[in-house]
């Protein structure tokens, strides 16, 4: 009996020592030394996150890494995948060594059903994370390269008033714009109000469809969520007040556009400045403000503290703080666009800020090979209300010999604003066709 007791005691001692040994052996650094938030935000003076997104460096982000046992980890991605504000991945197996832990696996977005691969390495004071093979939910439907359509004219049912303006009727009229790069639709009645909305709507559709081909050649919605484009930064041509106001009565034709795009050069935009995702059956367009602001800062000698503070204001969802900082920034830049932003009223600025931080919700429809990406009445209303305030910005962008027409331009924008706010239903955006190139 004594021998059995000694054997049992020895067995318990060995078992406990093995358990203790296993509990203290993490096959790597102590978990507390690597459990942390890792960030490469501009406001972080000591960035400790190296993040790549489908091979492209991504900045302005943060990741939580947490492990208790050194065997598995929890990794939380903050606003890295389009449409995923916070994505937590748990029970990730770790492979440890003397310096750190390595991990890899597959993940999926909770809101967007985006699939992806991840590979990472964490050491004391640094996390390296590579996210690859991204495939957005609904990529099969939307991911493609789109080009601007050729303007097509033909017979269209429109509201026509009599010579005295007393009676308005629907009539089939030839020569009207059926397809163009700017998409516009308004649910109107055969009335003076309906005719006014139709006139201004057609005018803005004509003007933008005249300008867009000079600026944009194609847009690519990539399967990984990136949006890129082929664009031209050459000066606009053929743009004068006679042409602009002529579009109030004369429909646009492709022959008006072709001479101005025949010899234009288009260049590819960089990745990482804009992305897309689907949410509640809507197409969400979101700008990567951190990358955009960083690019501006790299091109000009701007106080890094101001840039960092701007990024913080955006991440903290503080529109009034951002407006204050943009005012300070523009004292150095004297930029017309920034000048417009800081001078609009606080309500309008908050609406724009919400778009910039959460994304622009748009609808997508396809018909006869043409894809419409547009804002509905609810989403377009804040823009329509802003149009009269755009006068100083628009005037500053015009050639010097046209800037004297400021009062006419103000009246033009005011008329468009009122016309666009009156219909119960309105759709305004882009009309695109799928290109052969992917």
318 alpha-carbon distance from chain centroid: 19
Token pair belonging to 344: 């609009």
Q: Mean of the pLDDT values across residues 21-29?
A: 60
Q: How far apart are CA 278 and CA 275, in angstroms?
A: 11
What pLDDT shows up at residue 323?
83
DSSP single-letter state for residue 298? H
Residues 136, 223 contacting (CB under 8 angstroms) = yes
Q: What is the mean pLDDT of the chain?
A: 85
Residues 362, 379 contacting (CB under 8 angstroms) = yes
- pLDDT tier for residue 178 given thresholds of 50, 70 and 90: very high
Residues 84, 109 contacting (CB under 8 angstroms) = yes
pLDDT tens sequence across 187-204: 999 999 999 999 999 999
The alpha helices in 263-369, defined as continuous H runs, are 289-299, 304-315, 319-333, 336-343, 346-358
**Which of 229-238, 311-320, 321-330, 391-400 comes out lowest in average pLDDT?**
391-400
Token pair belonging to 159: 């509201």
Q: By C-alpha distance, which of 173, 174, 160, 250 is closest to 206?
A: 250
pLDDT tens sequence across 263-279: 999 999 988 889 999 88
Q: How far apart are the first and last CA of the chain?
A: 81
* pLDDT at residue 184 is higher than 90: yes
How deeply is 271 buried, as exposed, middle or buried, from its count of CB atoms within 10 A (0-12, 13-18, 19+)? buried
Q: How far apart are CA 276 and CA 81, in angstroms?
A: 10
Q: Mean of the pLDDT values across residues 169-173?
A: 96
What pLDDT shows up at residue 175?
96
What pLDDT shows up at residue 331?
79
Q: Mean of the pLDDT values across residues 406-431?
A: 85
- pLDDT tier for residue 376 given thresholds of 50, 70 and 90: very high
Global confidence as pTM: 0.80
What pLDDT shows up at residue 2?
43
Task: Map residue 194 onto helix, strand or coil.
Answer: helix
What pLDDT shows up at residue 18?
40
CA torsion 22→24→30→35, rounded to 10°? 70
pLDDT tens sequence across 358-374: 889 999 998 888 999 99
Q: How far apart are CA 104 and CA 341, in angstroms?
A: 44
What pLDDT shows up at residue 8?
43
Q: Mean of the pLDDT values across residues 134-149?
A: 92
Residues 313, 321 contacting (CB under 8 angstroms) = yes
What pLDDT shows up at residue 401?
63
């Amino acid at each position: 009996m004594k021998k059995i007791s000694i054997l049992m005691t020895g067995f318990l001692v060995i078992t406990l020592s093995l358990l203790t040994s296993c509990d203290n052996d993490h096959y790597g650094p102590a978990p507390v030394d690597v459990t942390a938030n890792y960030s490469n935000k501009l406001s972080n003076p000591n960035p400790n996150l190296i993040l790549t997104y489908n091979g492209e460096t991504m900045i302005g982000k943060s990741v939580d890494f947490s492990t208790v046992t050194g065997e598995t980890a929890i990794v939380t991605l903050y606003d890295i995948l389009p449409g995923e504000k916070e994505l937590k991945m748990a029970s990730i197996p770790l492979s440890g060594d003397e310096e750190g832990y390595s991990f890899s696996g597959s993940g999926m977005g909770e809101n967007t059903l985006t699939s992806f691969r991840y590979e990472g390495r964490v050491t004391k004071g640094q996390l390296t994370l590579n996210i690859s093979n991204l495939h957005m939910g609904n990529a099969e439907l939307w991911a493609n390269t789109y080009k601007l359509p050729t303007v097509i004219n033909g017979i269209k049912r429109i509201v026509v008033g009599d010579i005295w303006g007393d009676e308005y009727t629907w009539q089939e009229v030839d020569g009207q714009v059926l397809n163009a790069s700017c998409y516009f639709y308004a649910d109107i009645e055969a009335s003076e109000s309906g005719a006014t909305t139709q006139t201004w709507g057609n005018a803005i559709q004509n003007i933008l469809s005249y300008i867009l081909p000079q600026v944009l050649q194609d847009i690519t919605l990539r399967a990984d969520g990136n949006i890129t484009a082929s664009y031209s930064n050459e000066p606009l041509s053929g743009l004068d007040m006679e042409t602009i106001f002529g579009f109030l009565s004369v429909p646009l034709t492709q022959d008006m556009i072709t001479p101005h795009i025949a010899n234009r050069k288009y260049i590819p935009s960089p990745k990482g400045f804009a992305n897309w995702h689907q949410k509640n059956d809507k197409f969400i367009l979101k700008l990567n403000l951190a990358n955009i602001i960083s690019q501006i800062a790299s091109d000009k000698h701007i106080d890094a503290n101001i840039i960092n503070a701007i990024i913080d204001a955006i991440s903290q969802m503080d529109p009034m703080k951002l407006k204050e900082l943009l005012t300070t920034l523009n004292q150095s830049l004297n930029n017309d666009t920034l000048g417009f932003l800081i001078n609009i009223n606080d309500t309008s600025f908050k609406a724009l800020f919400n778009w910039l931080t959460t994304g622009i919700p748009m609808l997508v429809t396809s018909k006869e090979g043409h894809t419409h990406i547009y804002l509905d009445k609810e989403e377009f209303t804040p823009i329509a209300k802003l149009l009269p305030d755009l006068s100083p910005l628009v005037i500053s962008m015009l050639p010097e010999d046209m800037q004297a027409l400021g009062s006419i331009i103000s009246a033009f924008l005011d008329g468009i604003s009122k016309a666009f706010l009156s219909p119960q239903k309105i759709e305004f955006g882009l009309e695109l066709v799928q290109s052969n190139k992917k």
